[in-house]
A and B are shown apart, each in its own frame.
Chain A
Amino acid sequence: MSLSRIALFTLACGIAIVCLTSAAELPRNSDYDYDPPTPGSYSLPVVKPAADGALLDSNNKAINLRDLTRGRITILSFIYTRCAAPKACPYATNVLGQLHSLSAQDMVLAKNMRLVSISFDPEYDTPQRLATYSENVREQGSGCEWRFVTSKSRAELAPILAAYDQAVNKRQNPADPQGPLYHTLRVFLIDRDGRIRNIYSSGTLDPRLVVADVKTLLLEEARVSKQ
């Protein structure tokens, strides 16, 4: 089975899981065997400012990362579409898919949340490929904004990866069944003012926690606006 086929199959798994869970409550499972916290019952300290950078959107239009990390509560995920490691990029995209589906049923989330998937594989993940990829992983129509972006060059990508502490390396075997790149899984929660408020990775990227965090930030905004 070719690498791209493995990635496609893994992606298909993600689609299937999104479809199964989009209309139902997100389940407790053996990986996340606890009840999520009540939104607003805790605080999310600022980690650091979300850095800017030059990107291309899936229409091949130049865009600043800053414009995707301000104005809404943003869930930002670093991915590459050739990744076939089930608990890495396909899982992260699956979680964003679940959030997108939930936002289709929740006007508050639809209006206030933004999802961003940034590729760190710019040579393969062209704007055209990302456009196709996005059609495969998200429901069209309602739901919050979900942007898929890549970069024009490795030189433009480098400072973004450094600023977000995103480790990426080429695998020695480019035909590795898990994909040609080795990387840490990083998904960021960014508030409306462009400040990173949480960082998720394997073991913490529980969609129930992400939803609780987004709603916690919304409640924080409401409290601040009353003062």
Chain B
Amino acid sequence: MKTPINSQLEIAAIWHVVVLVAAFALTFTSGLARADETCSSPYLARIDGQEEFVYVWTLGVEGMGDGADKLVTVDVKPGSPTYGKVVSSESVEGRNEAHHGGFTDDRRQLWLAGLESSRIFIFDVHTDPAKPKLTKTIDNFAETTGGAIGPHGAYALPGRVLIPCLSNAKDKGGRTGLVEYGNDANYIATHWLPTKDDPRDAADAKFADGYGYDARVLPRKNALLTSSFTGWNNYTMDFGKLTADPEAMKHFGSTMVMWDFHTRQPKKVFQVPGAPLEIRWAWGDKHNYAFTATALTSKLWLVYQDDRGEWQAKEVAPIGEAKGGVLPVDISISADDKTLFVDCFGDGKCRVFDVSDPQKPKQIYEKQIGKQVNMVSQSWDGRRLYFTSSLLARWDKQGADNEQFLRGYAWDGKELKPAFDLDFTALKLGRPHHMLFGSTKIGANRATVASRD
């Protein structure tokens, strides 16, 4: 028996409100399932207002400053006396081919990966978001994970992070896996990408190349989608030498894989030639699709659920001239799913697409960001975008074209207007790569309630 509620009036009121609150609960559920500033994990607490800091994972350059990789923190609070300035910089040991990173789901830790060394650097961004501190380093990644190397980033899952990798310790080619660590940096599991020889019941496994790059989840569909790039042998090679080596150029990913997220089992392999890189799931409650861009063939691709509920992949638009060669690298979707920003390393432009009809994207704008451009990060309200320049240490342009910057812009729906410009070479910081947002107003303490007072 449940405890009776004394007042009949209260019972009537409760049951009246039950319906209203249940409806609200369903709405709120959807709201929580979609989180973070347009490109991060849906399991993260989201900064839906003004971001206060941009964290820039920066590659060290020999002879520049201390020469080490570092996490650079830039103040982006409007009106702050240090707006658009570096407010802290914390170096890690050596140069590791600093690439991507990500927060734990509670947004208290920032995990930053080194593609070449396979080391992972864990920063506390909660104690003082303006001055992140290195607290732990994982330096036995290959041994612990059973041979996965080239950790590409960190993607928050409940209580753990998912680390998609690019390579393997055995031959340093493109065969690789997805690795899971707990938030305490305890290793949990490695899930190898399917291959023709190890299809693991995935449909269309005859296309499977085993390559990896990005990994993103659509929770309400229990869908995990991965993309593919290239192995350690290629991404550590000089870019000119690489493109002149026909054999090396054969070793790029040409697949995406749809997984059952809960079971971590591959379900279907898609043929997506030309190295499909970043994955961006749409946010709308009924938008069952994701975009990616293929770096080598300069195309936008759509992975979507068809009328029968089957996942499909199709090319939906060229990026730049039909001849290709603009080398699209990073993409960012707006929170309303209407706009897609596409950074092109080859010509240094950001191209903006109207993706209101995801099957028929249309370019509506383009802006020259620099001589080279790689990453783009967007605020949740879509009004602010930040760009960095570096792709890989040995792939960046040479001479005067080797600009290294963090540039902030305002977006009004029609054009990008410069807000600030930081020259990372002049500041002797290095090559800026991945950007993530910080705030003093987010993230709960682990044991504040228990330890305070």
Q: Which of B42, B186, B264, B450 is packed against the most chain A CB atoms within 10 Å? A: B450
Given A183-B444, A209-B262, does the pair A48, B184 have CB atoms closer than 8 Å? Answer: yes
- CB within 8 Å of B: which A173-193 residues: 181-184, 186
Q: Cβ of B323 < 8 Å from any Cβ of A?
A: no
A148 at the interface (CB under 8 A from B): no
- How far, in whole Å, are A179 and B183 apart by their CA atoms in the complex? 26
Instruction: Give B171-209 interface residues, CB cut-off 8 Å to A.
Output: 180, 182-184, 186, 188-189
Count A-B contacts at CB 8 Å: 164
Q: Is B452 an interface residue (CB 8 A)?
A: yes
Set of chain B residues within 8 Å of A121, measured between Cβ atoms: 449
B216: min CB distance to chain A, Å: 13
Please choose the segment from A64-72, A156-164, A217-225 that sits at the chain B interface, where 4 or more of its residues have CB less than 8 A away.
A156-164
Interface segment among A28-36, A55-63, A99-107, A110-118: the answer is A28-36
Let me know if A204 and B446 touch, CB within 8 A: no
Number of contact residues on B: which range applies?
Answer: 35 or more
Q: Which of B25, B159, B188 contacts A186 (CB 8 A)?
A: B159
The answer, among A15, A42, A165, for a CB contact under 8 Å with B106, is A165
Known: A12-B18, A47-B160. A37 touches B188 (CB 8 A): no
B105 touches A10 (CB 8 A): no
Kindly identify which residue among B2, B30, B452 contacts A30, using a CB–CB cutoff of 8 Å.
B30
Contacts of A135 in B (CB 8 A): 1-3
* Partner among B18, B265, B445 whose Cβ is within 8 Å of the Cβ of A167: B445
A129 at the interface (CB under 8 A from B): no
Interface size band for A: 35 or more
Among residues of B, the one whose C-beta sits closest to the C-beta of A88 is: B32
Nearest-neighbour CB distance to chain B for A179, whole angstroms, equals 12
Pick from B2, B160, B262, B445: contact of A37, CB under 8 Å = B262
Chain B residues whose C-beta falls within 8 Å of the C-beta of A170 in the assembled complex: 448-449, 452
Given that A37-B260, A155-B450 are known contacts, is A204 also in contact with B219, CB under 8 Å in the complex? Answer: yes
User: Does chain A have a CB within 8 A of B26?
Assistant: yes
**Chain B 220-263 interface mask (CB, 8 Å, partner A; 1/0):** 11110000000000000000000000000000000000001011
Closest 4 CB pairs of A and B: A199-B159, A201-B158, A158-B450, A42-B263
